[in-house]
A and B are shown apart, each in its own frame.
Chain A
Amino acid sequence: MNKKAMYTKVSERHEPTTHKIKNCCCAFISGGTLAVLAQLVFVMFNENLGMPKDESVSAVVILVIAITALFTGLGVYDKAAKICGAGLFIPISGFANALTSCALESKNEGLIFGIGSNMFKLAGSVITYGIVSAYILGFVRYFIGV
């Protein structure tokens, strides 16, 4: 083994410990709490306000997106996300934050070349592969006839 390769291997022992278990626990608790809250709101919309089931689901999703966008703008979301991690990233709140943060970041470059073209910089992949996988699964379902 040459000197460079040996030293490169030496570098591994300087890596700090990652807090994987702590992060998993934080994500589990925060993501779970978010889901329970959303479920409560869903029940409220569905049973107390008499909304149909599918409309209630959409209303809850819109509400989560709106709150995330607001908190991103207020500069609170990224602080919460540092602690919660995947708990906030995996639900629709992560997607809403990706859109809002990109839009905020490019607001100084104007409406067209700034917000308009940069808004989907991060969330674009989600949409692209969401549509692609929907197509593939759609074809699979059509031909197999599930």
Chain B
Amino acid sequence: MNVKFNNVYVQSSATSVGPMEAAGPLKNKFDQTYPDLYCGETSFEKAEQQMIKDACDIALRKKELTPKDIALSIGGDLMNQLGSSIYGMRHLDTAFIGMYGACATSSLVIGQGALWVEKLNKPVLCFTSSHNAVAEKQFRYPNEYGVQKKETTTFTVTGAGAIVLGNEKSEIQVRSFTVGSIVDWNFKNVNDMGKAMAPAAYETILSHFEKRNQSAKDYDLIVSGDLSSVGFSFLCDLLIKNDVEIDNKFFDCGMMIYDIHKQEVFAGGSGCACSMCVSIAHVFELIKKQQLKRVLVVATGALLSPILVQQKDSIPCIAHAIEYVGGNI
């Protein structure tokens, strides 16, 4: 399903990240960086909340807004019961919607925010976060547990990103939002989620092109969320088989936020913050500099339930796409 927006613009945006991201190829492009995973707090969960607060605070300040000017805030993260988003935002006195779409939450909250902006004509705050240690604790093993990880494993990004959407004209327009459907090609390996998510990205990209009557030629850049090196090469393979011209336009946020050859991140980055932080720190900057005109961000998420996977069930995945257009078009 695709929704077109006529009057939704990115008003301001901000990121807050941890040490590994700050040492990656996008260093110096983040608004706030922390030297360790605790971010000055006593637990990893509180650290994630702190990063959400930072990102939202900086994004609001950039546009000289206060929480009272925001009609609604929409956010999500990877923790059970959306713990980080809810606890992180509890002191901000605005209407709140929590959303879960695993790592695809970033596009989901932006798309949802855009719908509300069209309806209300007031600014809406969209944010997502993820924290490596929180995600490891919840989905994988304890952080200090000594195992040799598989080469296909992804490394959850520690960070938070916030975007204020509104109807005041700016350099970046949110043009359309494609809501993906749940795609399950019966992949079961939880250590290789990139491969499981690639079909979801593939189907969302094709559906977006079809609904918008576009092709890859209309875009300057198309980025997938967090497919990692394995999933990304699988996606490219699928696209080529369907005669989509890849042309050096396709990239993956999980491979942009880290240097996967130098940093110890296995197949690449993942998590809600991965596509969010790369969009804000890298893609938005290039659109503002007018180096890119039309960009598609396809955030991908593995909607696995640890309990159902232990019951030998597969990993259903989803991908949502947001189309950004440089404001001067």
Chain A residues close to B by CB (< 8 Å): 4, 7-8, 10-11, 13-19, 23, 72-73, 75, 77-78, 80-82, 85, 88-89, 94, 97-98, 100-102, 104-105, 108, 121-122
Grouping DSSP codes into helix (H, G, I), strand (E, B) and loop, the B interface class, with mixed when no group exceeds half, is loop
B137 at the interface (CB under 8 A from A): yes
Residue of A nearest to B232 (CB): A14
Given A7-B185, A8-B186, A11-B195, A105–B151 Cβ distance below 8 Å? no
Q: A104, B144: Cβ atoms under 8 Å?
A: yes
Chain B residue contacts of A77, Cβ below 8 A: 144, 146
Q: Quick check: A23 and B144 within 8 Å, CB to CB?
A: no
A120 to chain B, nearest CB (A): 12
Q: Is the CB of B145 within 8 A of A97?
A: yes
Are the C-beta atoms of B143 and A82 separated by less than 8 Å?
no
13 of the cross-chain contacts (CB-CB < 8 Å) are: A7-B199, A7-B238, A8-B185, A11-B198, A14-B231, A16-B267, A72-B144, A78-B144, A81-B148, A98-B145, A101-B143, A105-B137, A108-B42
Known contacts A8-B185, A10-B237, A108-B42; A122 and B195 CB within 8 A of each other: no
Contact of B144 with A14 in the complex, beta carbons under 8 Å: no
If A10-B238, A82-B148 are given as contacts, then 13 extra A-B residue pairs at C-beta distance below 8 Å, sorted by A number, are A7-B185, A11-B234, A15-B195, A19-B151, A78-B143, A82-B146, A89-B146, A98-B145, A101-B141, A104-B142, A105-B144, A108-B42, A108-B43
Given A14-B234, A14-B237, A122-B141, are A97 and B146 neighbors across the interface (CB < 8 Å)?
yes
B167: chain A residues within 8 A (beta carbon): none
Q: What A residues does B231 contact at CB under 8 A?
A: 14
Contact among B146, B195, B237 for A78, CB-based, below 8 A = B146
B244-267 CB mask vs A (1 if < 8 Å, else 0) is 000000000000000000000001
Known contacts A14-B230, A16-B151: A80-B142 contact under CB 8 Å: no
CA distance A10 to B242 in the complex (A): 14
CA distance A89 to B96 in the complex (A): 46
A59 to B: closest C-beta gap in Å:
24
Chain A neighbourhood of B50, CB < 8 A: none
> Residue B229 at the A interface, CB < 8 A?
yes
Q: How far is the CA of A121 from the CA of B187 in the complex (A)?
A: 26
Contact (Cβ within 8 A) A80 B230: no
Q: Does B152 contact A (CB under 8 A)?
A: yes
| Residues in chain A near residue B148, CB distance under 8 A | 23, 81-82, 85
The answer on a CB contact under 8 Å between B146 and A15 is: no
**Contacting pair B199 A101 (CB below 8 A):** no
Residues of B contacting A17 in the complex (Cβ-Cβ under 8 angstroms)? 151
Q: How far is the CB of A76 from chain B (nearest CB, A)?
A: 10
Partner of B142, one of A13, A102, A108: A102
The reply to whether A16 and B230 contact each other, CB–CB distance below 8 Å, is yes
Q: Is B147 part of the binding interface, using a Cβ–Cβ cutoff of 8 Å?
A: yes
Cβ contacts B225-236/A at 8 Å (1 or 0 each): 000011101100
A117 to nearest B CB, angstroms?
14
B 160-194 contacts with A by CB, 8 A = 185-187, 192
B145 engages A78 (CB within 8 Å):
yes
Complex contacts, B137 vs chain A, CB 8 Å: 105
Chain B 265-277 interface mask (CB, 8 Å, partner A; 1/0): 0010000000000
- Which single residue of chain A is at the shortest CB-CB distance from B46? A108
Q: Write the B57-72 contact mask toward A (1 if CB under 8 angstroms, else 0).
A: 0000000000000000
Complex: how many Å from CA A81 to CA B137?
A: 18
Give chain B residues whose Cβ lies under 8 Å from the Cβ of A97. 144-146
Per-position contact with A for B40-80: 1 when CB-CB < 8 Å, else 0? 00110100000000000000000000000000000000000
Q: Give Cα A7 to B234, complex, Å.
A: 9
Q: Is the CB of B185 within 8 A of A100?
A: no
In the complex the two chains form, is A81's CB within 8 Å of B146's CB?
Answer: yes
Partner of A105, one of B142, B150, B192, B234: B142
Query: Is A81 a contact of B147 with CB atoms below 8 Å?
Result: yes
Residues of B299-313 whose CB lies within 8 A of A: none
